[in-house]
Amino acid sequence: MERWQRVMERTGNAPPDDLPTVLATEGAHGPVIHAANRPARLNGIRTGARVVDMRALCPELQVEYADVAGDQAALERLKIWARRWCPWSVRDGADGLVLETTGSDHLWGGEAAMLADIEARFSLLGLTVQLAAAPTWGAAWALARYGRVRAICPPDEIAQQLGPLPVSALRLEADTLLLLRRLGLKTIAAVAEVPRLSLTRRFARTDLPGNPRLRLDQALGRLAEPVSSVEALPRFRVQSRLAEPIQDPTPYLAGLCEDLCARLTKAGFGCRRLHLAVYRTDGEVSVLEAATSAPSRDAGHLRRLFDDRIDRINPGFGFDLITLEAGAVEKLDIVQTRLDGAAEGDLELARLVDRLTARFGARSISRPLMRESHVPERAEGRISAIAGAPVMPAGPARERPVRLLDHPEEVRVLYAVPEGPPVQFIWRRQTHRITRYAGPERIAPEWWHDRPGTRLRDYFKVEVELGSRFWLYREGLHDDGRGGNPRWFLHGMFA
């Protein structure tokens, strides 16, 4: 609802605050209410009811359609953004987030201060939150929805605090709730007082969402319910919190790199991937990535990988938290390959590749390598330089040009005999007279690669009057039954 309100305000279509407004989704029997604003709730409108019924209650009701998928996507982004408080966070149902704050609350000055900070941050985004801190997922869920404002539950008070809450705080299915209400069990304390044996026998065949005993055990911590984050925690991560939102992370980058490298050095690792993330004040996270071709923990080098790309990060209206994490790490021992202390060529080369890749992208930097093929364009392959040095097969037996055109260019040729060498050709609107030639060298198509009907090529090395040497080929033969007259192409240049 609040997200919708924000979107409407941004487009200038926001309805007045005192107008009852609801968001609806399609139900089995017409639209049902998905969310309602405060005036609508005061008029007695419940979520889950049908819109036509609620119109009868409140004739001036404004109905808009809800963007459920957009809400889910926004919640996913908030999930990542909420990792500013703790390392792990997961989505809980359609409207909740669970943060695993064990061991990180003291960084914020205790749980109460952390909850206050969380609430303040979310209210800056225009969102209201109901918060609770509890030792178990179930208890936190119950206290956040039915408990006090910013409830904090120490481990020894779980049963005491959960007792007065209604049974719907146990995350149970509607059928089970109805059954419990009919049995007269209204609060969690009442359910907890029922002997375990009776509860177990009564709900022996129902699974977890409908089983009050299992849910109660989860809430009280007798049944483990771990928070399993989808993404594994990076082992090496440093962050810097800023007092005020800023737009440019450059001044902090050097310090972050040094911290990260100090930690990597201590553990004996080098990193292959780096993720620089800025947590924006408007609830988004912008990430910049860099890769290295060899594991590295040189702060200066890692910092330089971000040098020219820092402007690609989208700062929005500013950000107040920067994290730098080593995405992939490899064991890197301290080695000295030379006694004289001079710089090592291989290391420098790897760093050069890193810098070039960081600036131009991995596709622009390549190492050519030879492949075992007679077709000239297939005889040379390319691998990304960041992947490392290739192992080469032997080169071709025949002489090859030093430069090859990306695509062979068609030339108009004058020849004395159809199967023989050309006498002169026109290429790029210039006429070249041929003085000497070598060839033909016939290269047949590779039937296992080429389409049927591909014509063979007869290559000629020719020298023109001015001295330049070119590599021409005739595609096909006269009367080979694969198209009309053969065409001529210029494919490369000899030194």
Could you list the residues that contact other proteins (CB under 8 A)?
343-349, 351-353, 355-356, 359-360, 364-370, 376, 379-380, 382, 385, 389, 392, 394-396, 399-406, 427-428, 435-438, 461-463, 466-469, 492-495
For residue 309, the minimal CB distance to other proteins (Å) is 13
Report the residue count for the chain. 495
**Are 469 and 494 spatial neighbours (Cβ–Cβ below 8 Å)?**
yes
The whole-angstrom separation of Cα 144 and Cα 129 is: 9
For residue 356, the minimal CB distance to other proteins (Å) is 6
**Are 247 and 327 spatial neighbours (Cβ–Cβ below 8 Å)?**
no
Q: Which is nearer to other proteins, 341 or 395 (CB)?
A: 395
- Cα distances (Å, whole numbers) of residue 425 to 89, 415, 464, 467, 469: 70, 9, 10, 15, 13
Q: Which is nearer to other proteins, 264 or 302 (CB)?
A: 302
For residue 396, the minimal CB distance to other proteins (Å) is 5
The whole-angstrom separation of Cα 483 and Cα 473 is: 16
Q: Which is nearer to other proteins, 109 or 368 (CB)?
A: 368
The whole-angstrom separation of Cα 118 and Cα 240 is: 18
For residue 391, the minimal CB distance to other proteins (Å) is 11
For residue 6, the minimal CB distance to other proteins (Å) is 41
For residue 376, the minimal CB distance to other proteins (Å) is 8
The whole-angstrom separation of Cα 54 and Cα 27 is: 14
The whole-angstrom separation of Cα 61 and Cα 22 is: 7
Q: Which is nearer to other proteins, 3 or 304 (CB)?
A: 304
Q: Which is nearer to other proteins, 203 or 494 (CB)?
A: 494
Q: Which is nearer to other proteins, 235 or 436 (CB)?
A: 436
Q: Which is nearer to other proteins, 81 or 473 (CB)?
A: 473
Q: Which is nearer to other proteins, 8 or 356 (CB)?
A: 356
The whole-angstrom separation of Cα 121 and Cα 35 is: 23
The whole-angstrom separation of Cα 37 and Cα 444 is: 75
For residue 361, the minimal CB distance to other proteins (Å) is 10
For residue 331, the minimal CB distance to other proteins (Å) is 23
The CA-to-CA distance between both ends of the chain, in Å, stands at 71
Positive/negative CA dihedral, 208, 209, 212, 215: positive
Residues 6 or more apart whose Cβ sits within 8 Å of residue 495 = 401, 402, 469
The whole-angstrom separation of Cα 141 and Cα 447 is: 66
